[in-house]
Amino acid sequence: MLCGMKRAMPYTEFLGELERAGFSVRGFAHLIGMNPNSITNYASRGDVPQHIALVAVLVAEMAACAVDYRSAIAKVAPTRKPRGATQRGQFGGDRQANLDLQS
């Protein structure tokens, strides 16, 4: 690989790495704090971004060597925050003025 070049992993190869690690797409997404649909959406692109592919490959290698990858990942504590979820009357965290649109 050339210096500075990033290579995306083909989605089918990514699925192979997940299988090698003993994960479903849903289980892997949960492990790294992502929505499973976000992972599945990469299938239509045909490839998976390098950073997600890297995690999959490392987890598969660690699982093959019987290394506890879960405790290592827990140190980062990935959490999934729902996007767009906010309190009533707020948009993007900013308080909205109450608009009286009824005449």
Q: What are the Cα distances from residue 80, in Å, to 46, 91, 102? A: 24, 19, 38
Condensed to tens digits (0 to 9), the pLDDT of residues 76-90 reads: 866 655 555 556 655
Q: Please state the separation of Cα 23 from the chain's center in Å.
A: 13
The kind and range of the H/E element at 47 are strand 47-48
pLDDT at 11: 96
Q: Total structural domains in the chain? A: 1
Residue 3 lies in a domain: no
Ranking 40-44, 69-73, 95-99 by mean pLDDT, the lowest is 95-99
User: Is 50 exceeded by the pLDDT of residue 19?
Assistant: yes
Q: Can you give the residue range of the structural domain that contains 17? A: 9-93
Residue 43 lies in a domain: yes
Model confidence at 1, in pLDDT bands (50, 70, 90)?
Answer: very low
